[in-house]
Amino acid sequence: MENNEPKSSKAIMTFGLLILGSGLATIFLFIIGNKVPEVMDKARIMFAVTSVFGVAFLIYIKEWRVKENWREIPIAFRFIWWTIFFGNALNFMEYILTTFIL
């Protein structure tokens, strides 16, 4: 029996589950962190992990799904893509800098 489902939809579903799971864990930990301050560090870690998954997903979309057609995508969509990409990347870099360097 042959599976006709494209592999890319499995990858998108995997990224979706990773981002959704880590995002829900982040929200849950932030809510608990209001009552138990020790949990806030774990919430920040999960937020950084969610950002890493977001960056990986955006790179996958640009490099493996869109490929050479990137210039044909409307400028508004590309602006939104770059905004989300830099936001996630800067969030992760801020976490690394404040945790390990400062």
Q: Give the pLDDT confidence of 41-64 residue by residue, as tens digits.
A: 999 999 999 999 999 999 998 988
Residue 14 lies in a domain: yes
The C-alpha atoms of residue 61 and residue 52 are separated, in whole angstroms, by 14
Whether the model clears a pTM of 0.85, i.e. scores above it, the answer is no
SS3 content of the chain, % helix, strand, coil (to 5): 90, 0, 10
Residue 2 lies in a domain: no
- Average pLDDT of the chain, as a whole number: 89
Q: Which two tokens stand for residue 16?
A: 């979706």
Number of domains in the chain: 1
The C-alpha atoms of residue 54 and residue 44 are separated, in whole angstroms, by 15
Average pLDDT over residues 10-28: 91
What is residue 1's predicted lDDT score, i.e. its pLDDT? Answer: 47
Average pLDDT over residues 70-98: 93
For 29, residues 6+ apart whose C-beta sits below 8 A from its C-beta are 39, 40, 42, 43, 46
**What number of residues does the chain have?**
102
What is residue 48's predicted lDDT score, i.e. its pLDDT? Answer: 94
Residue 1 lies in a domain: no
Residue 96 lies in a domain: yes
Q: Which structural domain, as residue segments, surrounds residue 63?
A: 8-101
Residue 3 lies in a domain: no
